[in-house]
Structure 1
């Protein structure tokens, strides 16, 4: 069921439908596997749910005031889909963790979420994707030209929302947001370039996912820290935490596509079928013999989907790709937690972010 997203211009008789639980996954399934007492985990879950509810209310009632009415339909479509709202939740949690006021952070939190969804609209155009979050992609539902314009409108509106921060740190907020926005677009270009590259190095791939995925998550945390008046050192620590967590998250995403839990109904091997240059494929190619490389090249045009997946997984297993990928994830996650532990605040205040990190990293789908 889609979230009901209402613009100020629409009928006041419409009701706001809020998703009552935040989580990267199904809350209870993830919570049961995490360390800590059930009471502690439930407490964190309720804190997250409360932040999400407050953010959704602001997003619906305030964030799109003054937005062009002609763009509302497609924007409502993408913003109303069942997103995780990871980035705004991290921003708000960080702001509160450093003693800031949540109300001061609502504008920047919506800026991050609107920018993220703008990038999804244009990403779907580039990939010619038919669906997004189980619904029609904006360009499929409303047409290519409309989708381009809506994406542009959302990009510009994200800066309007950023400027609504109730702090004196707008210059710093703009510096962080502008840098992240530029890097996200740079990362998208790298991803496009990879489609025509025969070989991609691990360094090139890590730079691509850093820019395309991690920097916006890291910037969300840093923006929250700025609004909460954190020290420059803590701002850097929280940024590094998010950057490495985002990298671990993306590689885990690659990993789950080949080695995930099929009990959730998700098909294994989608990236393999698309010949997508994931961390697993890049690791395989960089450790492959000549005969392995020839087999990988042959499989890129294999029409039998089941055979293509099974044969590629056999190559991955032979080259210990699974183990190498898991080691990389563990290294990045460990580095992220070291940065979090360097923060000059009480351990109790770090609990929400630590639990969120565990939820993000320990997911099984």
Structure 2
């Protein structure tokens, strides 16, 4: 099954999830008007992204169970896995609805942010909570009888809190309306991206699939964690690099990290290497919503050869990750191929 067909198969599971949540709300006696509001929020905010996190639950399970492809997974099994994948997408939707309000963003996934809808506004705060709440309603209904039910709950609770911790440090380190580069450091950047991105985007999908597949010893979860967390950090550093150095036609957007005062790997690397004169240029041009000052920063990054430092970092990191994967102990059922698939998706990507 090709990627487009696998994505469509996953998407085909979503309407049943929405209908299920609607029935639960009807059981509460909620009005049809409110149920429609929630349905609209679910459909607007959840299925519009790349769905990589949700699809990774299924892909990981297929490898761990030794299936040749997704089509070999029995329908009942697939639906259960897809539901877990959609729970991650609900978590993502919850984060994005809230983040867009905090960041005062205008668009998301090519359309106006949910809170920017004329009839929504600050009600989006409650809508975000309800997107997250759906995760636990669905887990209870579909997994309560499974021995690993509490493990799933703990994973979602732990990773949600870890992501919010990363968001907190990001918000207080780099507010858009107050630029102070002395707050920045590569150490802070590392903490932010590991907690804000790596846990829920890389570790969570794999750990969920491992529990369902019965490959969830403490040692195997640690093997997955020890590769997926640095891989998630590499992914975000790559994202930071592409925001500045990538071509808009390749990455599908115009980078805004410089104008938005983002605590990115690019600026943190530049700060670490900068002469006093270069530091002055950054202090007077970074984080300003102006094309001219943005161009000054980009030229400085080119002059400092930040792109070369990135490529050195990339090769060093990937070499180390491949060594770790090659040494994975597969005696308890875990498979290094799970990690290789993730690494191959990330390595040398251009969008």
TM normalised by structure 1 equals: 0.78
Contact 1:96 1:228 in 2 (8 A): no
Tell me: CA distance 1:224–1:51, structure 2 relative to 1, closer, same or farther (3 Å). Answer: farther
Aligned equivalents of 2:252 and 2:11: distance in 1?
Answer: 28
User: Which deviates the most, 176-185 or 285-294?
Assistant: 285-294
Contact 1:114 1:158 in 2 (8 A): yes
Aligned equivalents of 2:289 and 2:80: distance in 1?
Answer: 54
Contact 2:246 2:350 in 1 (8 A): yes
Aligned equivalents of 1:301 and 1:241: distance in 2?
Answer: 33
1:266 Cα deviation after fit:
4.8
TM normalised by structure 2 equals: 0.81
1:168 Cα deviation after fit:
1.6
Question: Are 1:61 and 2:13 an aligned pair?
Answer: no
Question: Are 1:270 and 2:256 an aligned pair?
Answer: yes
Q: Among residues 14, 26, 40, which one is paired with 1:73 in the alignment?
A: 40
Contact 1:114 1:154 in 2 (8 A): yes
Tell me: CA distance 1:98–1:124, structure 2 relative to 1, closer, same or farther (3 Å). Answer: same
Question: Are 1:240 and 2:217 an aligned pair?
Answer: no
Question: What secondary structure does 1:87 align onto?
Answer: helix
Q: In the alignment, what sits opposite 1:8?
A: none
Q: In the alignment, what sits opposite 1:281?
A: 267
Structure 1 residues without counterparts, runs of 5 or longer: 1-45
1:343 Cα deviation after fit:
5.0
Q: Deviations over 1:302-345 (max 9, x none)?
A: 6751x323321232233332222233333443444444441517
Tell me: CA distance 1:268–1:55, structure 2 relative to 1, closer, same or farther (3 Å). Answer: closer
Q: Among residues 79, 88, 91, which one is paired with 2:57 in the alignment?
A: 91
Q: Whose RCO is larger (CA < 8 A, sep 6+)?
A: 1
Tell me: CA distance 1:174–1:66, structure 2 relative to 1, closer, same or farther (3 Å). Answer: same
Q: In the alignment, what sits opposite 1:226?
A: 211
After superposition, the CA RMSD in angstroms is: 2.8
Aligned equivalents of 1:221 and 1:314: distance in 2?
Answer: 40
Structure 2 residues without counterparts, runs of 5 or longer: 26-34, 67-76
Tell me: CA distance 1:94–1:345, structure 2 relative to 1, closer, same or farther (3 Å). Answer: farther
In the alignment of these two chains, the number of paired residues is 318
User: Which deviates the most, 255-264 or 85-94?
Assistant: 255-264
Aligned equivalents of 2:321 and 2:5: distance in 1?
Answer: 25
